[in-house]
Amino acid sequence: MNNKLKVAAFFSGCGGLDLGFIKAGYEIVWANDFDKYAVQTYNLNFEHKAVCCDINQVDYRDIPNHDVLIGGFPCQPFSMMGLEKGFEDKRGTLFFKIVDIISYKKQIKQQPKIVVLENVRTLMTHNKGETFKVIKQELESLGYKVFAKMLNSANYGVPQTRNRVFIVCFLNNEIDYTFPKERKLEKYLQDILEQNVSEKYFLSERIKKTILSNGSGGYVAKSETDLQIARPLTATMAKMHRACQDNYVTQNGKLRRLTPRECARLQGFPESFKYEVSDCQAYKQFGNAVTVNVSYAIAKSILKYIEADNL
């Protein structure tokens, strides 16, 4: 493949999905996100700058021609952490903005050959499977052959249990795509911890009692610390949930929360990845991110089909 495949990225956040494709040899030609702090972090780290905008306000004529469309469309409408309203939630309808963009590109004969979308694991079971059925039908109506699978970040080199649905679509209906193979985990949470961590990350004795409690009322779950494989990072980590939901580790005999850099590592971001935002915003960005390792594995796996079928 002599020329880099051009990618348009939507709902990029701080760039986890985008970075995986860049590492695999693709070129990002357009990217966007609504969160100004996420765009700030993105633009610190990527050559092509993301546009900070509401996708509803994007002029489709401003989106350059691209071979691949990628995006982690907002997951709150389908997440167990939210109210699971699905397409009743206006954020859920943002999937249809992707459909509209592809339809527009199809009309002007610039339809992307490949589409890669990401969302929470409950997307496939939401509303007894009807939500995913609609998504699949919409993509198929645009001419794509659709493949979907839930992938766990812990099976792609990072010590974090993070199950996400990935949807990979090809215009070529002859393709029989296979998702990337899993690999053995070689690093654990303790292997990626920072040393000489600021005191602000350590828990006081007062808050520790709450953090280590097993819940109350209608919500009871076992609190555990020092896990080998981290629980899923969340966008609300800054709130410091109980240890049955967030990750806490013991260092120098004291319990502490993870640092933003450790969260970046758990999402596969390199040490060179920069962020100049508050801890609260950094936790949000890394908690929302697509794991770079998984994105890279998918991007690499797609290449062989492109080369073999001359897409």
Domains of the chain by start residue, with CATH: 6-185+290-309 (3.40.50.150), 189-285 (3.90.120.10)
pTM score, whole prediction: 0.92
pLDDT score, position 309 = 60
Quick: pLDDT tens for 168-215. 999 988 999 999 999 999 999 999 999 999 999 999 999 999 999 986
- Helices of type H across the chain: 16-23, 36-45, 94-107, 130-141, 205-211, 260-266, 279-288, 292-309
Model confidence pLDDT, tens digit, residues 38-97: 999 999 999 999 999 999 999 999 999 999 999 998 755 454 454 545 455 444 478 999
**What letter does residue 230 receive in the DSSP assignment?**
B
- Work out the average pLDDT over 241-265: 97
Q: Which residue has the higher pLDDT, 177 or 124?
A: 177
pLDDT above 90 as % of the chain: 81
Whether 75 is catalytic? yes
Strands 51-52 and 27-33: parallel
Chain centroid to CA 59: 25
Confidence class for position 130, pLDDT limits 50, 70, 90? confident
CB atoms within 10 A of CB 158: 25
- Listing DSSP states for 81-93 in one string gives TTT--GGGSTTTT
Per the residue annotation, which of 14, 52, 53, 75 is the catalytic one? 75
The dihedrals phi and psi of 241, each to the nearest 5 degrees, come to: -75, 175
Residues of the chain by 3-state class (helix, strand, coil), percent to 5: 40, 20, 45
Note the pLDDT tens digit of each residue in 131-149. 899 999 999 999 999 999 9
